[in-house]
Amino acid sequence: IKGLTADAEGEYLPVSLSGASSDWKATYKPVKPGAYEIDVLLRSKSVLRRPHRVNFSSTVDPSQCILALPITSCKAGTPINFKIIAKDNHGYRLGQGGLPFSIKVTGPEGEFGLPVINDNGNGTYSCSIVLNRPEEEYYISAFLNDEPLGNSPVTVKT
């Protein structure tokens, strides 16, 4: 007995099978969103009337999203430009915007500032913040629906 699934590109992928005799369980976990066709073969012939079609969609996952801040230090009073990259629960980048990301900046005197977040409409968000006090350490945290992103907070020193 053999289990197969085909993704949207027609590539066949293995299915895990467990059981014995006439009682088998076929398991497949898609790794990317899309349309899949699942079939179970016995002696190279399908045991199903026709392959089972499944459309697998993904959901945004804050723990997979990235706060892409390429620096660890900056000059006080100079804008820092960085991005947020939205990803799904399988780690794939989302291709659309519209998500309610927020940023919190914490410094020596607590929370401050209003970071600018611009939705680029493609799953990335351009962000900017100015850290005003020299020789201080700041923590930049990013959130989606009040849940922290996977690599947040990031420390920046002025």
Task: List Cβ neighbours of 49 (8 Å cut-off, separation of 6 or more).
Answer: none
CB distance 90 to 97 below 8 Å: no
State the pLDDT confidence band at 5, using cuts at 50, 70 and 90. low
The model's pLDDT over 81-126, given as tens digits with 9 standing for 90+, comes to: 999 999 998 888 988 899 999 999 998 888 877 899 999 999 999 9
Residue 149's CB is within 10 A of a number of other CB atoms, namely 25
- For residue 109 the two structure tokens come to 């005197």
- For residue 111 the two structure tokens come to 């929370």
Show the 3-state SS of 63-94: CCCEEECCCCECCCCCEEEEEEECEECCCCEC
